[in-house]
Amino acid sequence: MRGINKSFGPVQVLHDVAFSARAGEVTALVGDNGAGKSTLVKCIGGIYAIDRGEYLFEGRPVHVHTPRDAAALGIEIVYQDLALCDNLDIVQNMFLGRERKSGMVLDEDTMEHMAAKTLEGLSVRTVKSIRQQVSSLSGGQRQTVAIAKAVLWNSKVVILDEPTAALGVAQTAQVLELVRRLADNGLAVVLISHNMNDVFAVADRIAALYLGRMAAEVKASEVTHAQVVELITAGRSGDLGLTNGNGGGNGVTEGKEAS
């Protein structure tokens, strides 16, 4: 994303935001409440139309007007509420709205095979049966199903909104391991999180938004927890960040862009 601007009536939420997600990396998108994280993600996902700016995918300009356009490119978003149906089993949830059919009936065998293969490919071993109802799953297992659902469709970019927010220590570790595995499998992963421990545990790069502006996009190995907190709360940390409270972010580099 380059020079992204988005307003709602007289309120400008995003100001010339630049953001990139790269294949094989986890990019953490951080910022205080109201910084513009959700708005930026919804622009990427085609829920909100961009007022001004460039949207590039795999190095070429694209036009994303609807969530279907984003999905066609291979962009999937796992929202915090997960959007799973408790009364359906894992297979039914993973294919909800995209069911496979054989003639006039559902092709249950193909869907079971694809669901099992996807979970196996992510090395998910905490689920006893793919025919378990989602209502019987733990929070970590639900998050795993939601992520598996997102990567089932040959995704190239997966955006995860606070995936560990309601999880315990053990379940958080399992989900973070899965997040890392997604990137290691070649996907571009965007992790939205307020938890700095989670961010530094899995992120390759950190993008910090401050009042609708990109304060910095840097390698996680080149900043400290304290610096990221300062970027989130003040938009600046030492020589890193915004100048005079506005302007472009520091540390945004060129490279293969997934979104």
Q: Is the pLDDT of residue 208 over 60?
A: yes
Residue 31 and residue 186: Cα distance in Å, rounded?
26
Please report the pLDDT score of residue 41 as a whole number: 96
| Better-predicted residue by pLDDT, 227 or 140 | 227
Q: Show the 3-state SS of 104-143.
A: CEECHHHHHHHHHHHHHHCCCCCCCCCCCEHHHCCHHHHH
Please report the pLDDT score of residue 67 as a whole number: 93
Please report the pLDDT score of residue 181 as a whole number: 92
Q: Which residues contact 11 (CB under 8 A, 6 or more apart)?
A: none
Q: Is the pLDDT of residue 69 over 80?
A: yes
| Better-predicted residue by pLDDT, 81 or 46 | 46
Report domain extents, the chain: 1-74+155-259, 84-154
Residue 189 and residue 48: Cα distance in Å, rounded?
20
Please report the pLDDT score of residue 247 as a whole number: 45
Confidence band (pLDDT; 50, 70, 90) for 79? Answer: confident
DSSP-assigned letter for residue 246:
B
Q: Is the pLDDT of residue 255 over 50?
A: no
Confidence band (pLDDT; 50, 70, 90) for 259? Answer: very low
Confidence band (pLDDT; 50, 70, 90) for 249? Answer: very low
Lowest mean pLDDT, pick from 23-32, 49-58, 117-126: 117-126
Q: What is the pTM of this model?
A: 0.86
Strand-pairing partners, residue 241, are 236
What is the fold, at CATH topology level, of the domain defined by 1-74+155-259?
Rossmann fold (3.40.50)
Q: Is the pLDDT of residue 147 over 80?
A: yes
Percent of the chain at pLDDT > 90 equals 74
Please report the pLDDT score of residue 246 as a whole number: 55
Mean pLDDT over the full length of the chain: 90
